[in-house]
A and B are shown apart, each in its own frame.
Chain A
């Protein structure tokens, strides 16, 4: 094959660097043997092993060798290229050689960490290293191209994460589009009464931020809106947003709520979403008193005018001259251009019906924690009273931890917030009702500032803790209407049956129902549990594998409010850092046409998902637009005459790699 002809490229001098990574690599792979082997390969001028190649002395070692040995190619056998490829490219560039003259061999994630047998691990490392040495010899100098970054930012989701990120960016002078699918921003936090462990009121700390969003000149707030299409790439995204009709003109409504009063429904009959169905609302409503925007919304599913077209439209009369109500409003689509995106799409709570033996939905006095959260809230369905369905105050309450968390049948992970919010609810229920509160837990997880102290405080207040998971909830046979919690108390070593009036299920946090669709829309990845995957769990916790798209809040994994806000700030800072460089360098791994070989068959054209390939009628040949090409290489693999190539993934380079891993050592 022709690709073999290019061997023995003139003047190629390769330096090979084998990293010990402390004992991470060296503990399994004989790094000195690997370096020794590398030195025996053709065109290798120098091969070394070193404790930490990515450290400053490690990098200096490479720079020194480049000048001393006249190296023009570098192979680093270390960790995944996803971690340190950039580092070593920069090292090469700083020593005056093209950054793309670097190839990494992954001997850690794909080597010492996955293989136990030393000989076999070394054999694999040798093969992969040999392939890299053969491949890198063919590397061509490449230039990154610069594209401008649009300074505007899209923030998806208007919970505390989205709000905080949007305000941070807006305060830095960037224009932010904040898109929220509900009629108001605020998210889950707006539903809470107090926040642990400080017990400050959620509304008191959240609503000023919500109104600041609405008032900020740099923020365009779109509620009842969803992103439906994402085109483009980092720095230059084109986003299409569906704006659902509110049937109320936002600019004209002053939030007086006279229309709600006037609605032909004299009694509110529709389940109120904000209060989780514990109270009723009318078809025209304000989601909650502090909603932002302070604008009513009409629910077409229940509004008589939408259902029959024969309503007296008393709301319209009540609105009078303001004329804010508009039954003719239609769905609209708007397209915006932004340079970066922050996803803050939040979470959903675990559906307690999935564990039938806790009786949620079956026994009236089994509640989820979020429902109780609404009840303890002064503006909630009961005006802040904790009551049973029949209006009585509970005398005993049992809180069951880990519903849908730490359970092989549902979710294996810990939802992180349930222990603390359960303690908070225990405190609030005790305060409001004087009830005896039991907490059935697996472990109390209170690792945060002031958390353990709060646990101690709640315990001292007399909340009773039972270490053991409740196995069953069933009605008492004495006709009292009470429920029996049956649990093995693992500290006492006996099964306990505790009669309670009210059961509170501490439901865990799960990825949003449509997380998969959102992930596909933005071309990012989800972790196993369905939460969006960060680029690196420690060092790039708010970045994704798609440049320019950042994560904030619980869409990345369960977390509490302080962590959410910290992460939102970090995401905003990452976006700012990108925007303020004004331009971004694009990877040069694009495809290109070898004109003399192209037969003009057009096979490649329909394969390109980005429409980057056009046909030049004058010369009857294909042509690839470098700006539109994203470097997948599909066209390269499909060209029948082999006349499309891809920078950094040239046929010749890949053939060298294949034959390299297979060549006998």
Chain B
């Protein structure tokens, strides 16, 4: 494992709780590890298991799903559906050789900016200790056609 391994965590945050917790972390200037890349969905229940697989297949070292606490879902019970799916997916991922620490579901409410920081930092450290996901393909973008850069 290279010394400077920086894990990349893809985080699916629901629009109403965890995304807002991340916004609150910002307005409260709470610092956390910069390894996370957020994809916003309206509800954690929108997170298709394929999204998680796609993230791992394209080089994510970890995937975090953040939703509202049970009973707090903006859509009444979407997070329960998430939980159901995540349990099954976790077993599938383990069978594929993906360590359970690489895939996490957390309930983080809009007021829990501190918890967001803790979860992200903890996960980054755990995944860092595991090292890069071994079979990551790391599919690169095709080279870009340069466009006109203009300074305002």
A interface, CB within 8 angstroms of B = 1, 32, 35-36, 39-42, 44-50, 61, 80-82, 106, 108-111, 113-117, 120-121, 123-124, 127-128, 130-131, 520, 523, 525-528, 533, 537, 545-546, 589, 607, 609, 630-634, 636-638, 646, 649, 651, 654-655, 657-659, 661-664
Residue of A42, A45, A48, A109 touching B26 (CB-CB under 8 A): A109
11 A-B pairs besides A106-B38, A528-B111, A632-B45 with CB distance below 8 A are A48-B150, A110-B38, A113-B26, A128-B37, A533-B111, A607-B81, A632-B74, A636-B46, A651-B50, A658-B55, A662-B10
Quick one: given A109-B25, A637-B85, are A48 and B31 in contact (CB under 8 Å)? no
CB contact list, B110-150 vs A, under 8 A: 110-112, 138-142, 144-150
Quick one: given A48-B152, A533-B111, A662-B55, are A39 and B75 in contact (CB under 8 Å)? no
Jot down 30 A-B pairs with beta carbons below 8 A, ordered by A: A39-B147, A39-B150, A42-B141, A47-B149, A48-B150, A48-B151, A106-B26, A106-B38, A109-B23, A110-B38, A113-B26, A113-B27, A116-B31, A128-B37, A128-B38, A525-B16, A525-B111, A533-B111, A545-B74, A609-B76, A632-B43, A633-B45, A637-B46, A637-B48, A646-B46, A651-B48, A654-B39, A655-B51, A658-B10, A661-B10
Residues of B within 8 A of A526 (CB): 109, 111
Q: How far is the CB of A625 from chain B (nearest CB, A)?
A: 15
Residues of A within 8 A of B139 (CB): 659, 662-663
Q: How far is the CB of B71 from chain A (nearest CB, A)?
A: 6
Residue of B34, B37, B151 touching A121 (CB-CB under 8 A): B34
- Cβ–Cβ contact B29 & A632, under 8 A: no
Q: How far is the CB of B54 from chain A (nearest CB, A)?
A: 5
Interface of B is mostly: loop
Residues of A within 8 A of B29 (CB): 113-114
Which 4 pairs show the lowest CB-CB distances between chains A and B? A109-B26, A633-B46, A39-B149, A632-B75
CA distance A649 to B44 in the complex (A): 12
CA distance A633 to B76 in the complex (A): 13
B15-47 to A contact mask, C-beta < 8 Å, 1/0: 011011011011101111011111111110111
Residues of B within 8 A of A113 (CB): 25-27, 29
Which residue of chain B is the closest to A8 with respect to CB atoms?
A: B142
- Cβ–Cβ contact A664 & B145, under 8 A: no
- Cβ–Cβ contact B141 & A663, under 8 A: yes
Quick one: given A113-B26, A527-B111, are A649 and B71 in contact (CB under 8 Å)? no
Which residue of chain B is the closest to A631 with respect to CB atoms?
A: B42
CA distance A646 to B47 in the complex (A): 12
Any A CB within 8 A of the CB of B59: yes
Residues of A within 8 A of B17 (CB): 525
Any A CB within 8 A of the CB of B101: no
Q: How far is the CB of B6 from chain A (nearest CB, A)?
A: 8
Quick one: given A114-B29, A523-B74, A525-B111, are A35 and B39 in contact (CB under 8 Å)? no
Residues of A within 8 A of B110 (CB): 525, 533, 545
- Chain B contact residues (Cβ within 8 angstroms of A): what range? 35 or more
Residues of A within 8 A of B30 (CB): 114
**Number of contacts between A and B (CB, 8 Å)?**
192
Any A CB within 8 A of the CB of B91: no
CA distance A546 to B75 in the complex (A): 11
CA distance A339 to B37 in the complex (A): 38
Any A CB within 8 A of the CB of B104: no
Quick one: given A662-B59, A664-B141, are A40 and B151 in contact (CB under 8 Å)? no
Residue of B19, B34, B60 touching A124 (CB-CB under 8 A): B34
CA distance A607 to B58 in the complex (A): 30
CA distance A1 to B54 in the complex (A): 9
Q: How far is the CB of A100 from chain B (nearest CB, A)?
A: 14
CA distance A36 to B109 in the complex (A): 36
Residues of A within 8 A of B81 (CB): 607, 634, 637-638
Which residue of chain A is the closest to B28 with respect to CB atoms?
A: A113
- Cβ–Cβ contact A81 & B40, under 8 A: yes
- Cβ–Cβ contact B32 & A525, under 8 A: no
- Cβ–Cβ contact A109 & B34, under 8 A: no
B47-81 to A contact mask, C-beta < 8 Å, 1/0: 11111001100111000000000011011111001
Residue of A39, A47, A109, A661 touching B37 (CB-CB under 8 A): A661
CA distance A110 to B22 in the complex (A): 7
Residues of B within 8 A of A123 (CB): 34
Residues of A within 8 A of B146 (CB): 39-40
CA distance A40 to B150 in the complex (A): 11
Which residue of chain B is the closest to A3 with respect to CB atoms?
A: B54
Q: How far is the CB of B60 from chain A (nearest CB, A)?
A: 6
Which residue of chain B is the closest to A120 with respect to CB atoms?
A: B34
- Cβ–Cβ contact B147 & A664, under 8 A: no
Quick one: given A47-B149, A646-B46, A654-B51, are A114 and B78 in contact (CB under 8 Å)? no
Residue of A48, A80, A116 touching B23 (CB-CB under 8 A): A80
Which residue of chain B is the closest to A655 with respect to CB atoms?
A: B54
CA distance A18 to B138 in the complex (A): 27
Q: How far is the CB of A470 from chain B (nearest CB, A)?
A: 31
Which residue of chain B is the closest to A47 with respect to CB atoms?
A: B149
- Cβ–Cβ contact B78 & A634, under 8 A: yes
Quick one: given A632-B46, A663-B141, are A545 and B16 in contact (CB under 8 Å)? yes
- Cβ–Cβ contact B72 & A131, under 8 A: no
B6, B59, B78 — most chain A CB neighbours (10 Å): B78
- Cβ–Cβ contact A528 & B75, under 8 A: no
Q: How far is the CB of A517 from chain B (nearest CB, A)?
A: 10
- Cβ–Cβ contact A520 & B144, under 8 A: no
- Cβ–Cβ contact B152 & A50, under 8 A: yes
Which residue of chain A is the closest to B77 with respect to CB atoms?
A: A609
- Cβ–Cβ contact A658 & B23, under 8 A: no
Which residue of chain A is the closest to B142 with respect to CB atoms?
A: A42
CA distance A36 to B6 in the complex (A): 24
Which residue of chain A is the closest to B109 with respect to CB atoms?
A: A525
Quick one: given A528-B111, A609-B78, A658-B39, are A637 and B45 in contact (CB under 8 Å)? yes
Residues of B within 8 A of A106 (CB): 23, 26, 38
CA distance A520 to B74 in the complex (A): 9
Q: How far is the CB of A341 from chain B (nearest CB, A)?
A: 16
CA distance A45 to B148 in the complex (A): 6
Quick one: given A1-B54, A525-B16, A649-B42, are A46 and B111 in contact (CB under 8 Å)? no
Which residue of chain B is the closest to A61 with respect to CB atoms?
A: B152
- Cβ–Cβ contact B45 & A634, under 8 A: yes
Residues of A within 8 A of B20 (CB): 82, 525, 545
Which residue of chain A is the closest to B149 with respect to CB atoms?
A: A39
